[in-house]
Amino acid sequence: MQNEPYFYNPGMTPEQLEDWLSQQKLHLSHYNRLVSERAALIKRLTEVDNDLERYAPTLKQEKLSFPWEPSPLLEAHQK
């Protein structure tokens, strides 16, 4: 087994290397957060697409018409 470092940055002082590693950690954290946000957005867009598909059969080209269900409160008031 060789005793070679996993990464090599010639000419960097230990402080510079530590700073570089800190920056890499920040960038990786930001990247991972973006990946998570993207997954959440894709999930939400899928939900929206499913809702739109559910409404699609009720819409007519000449007129916008959404499904209507009478409110139980309205029915009780009319009695």
Residue 27 has pLDDT above 70, yes or no: yes
The number of domains in the chain is 1
Average pLDDT over residues 57-70: 73
- The answer as to whether 5 is a domain residue is no
- The answer as to whether 6 is a domain residue is no
Average pLDDT over residues 23-48: 97
CB 59 within 8 A of CB 51: no
Give the domain extent around 27: 14-78
Q: What is the pLDDT of residue 28?
A: 96
Q: How far is CA 72 from CA 63, 66, 75, 78, 79, in A?
A: 27, 18, 5, 10, 11
Q: What is the pLDDT of residue 70?
A: 82
Average pLDDT value for the chain: 84
Single pTM value for the model: 0.58
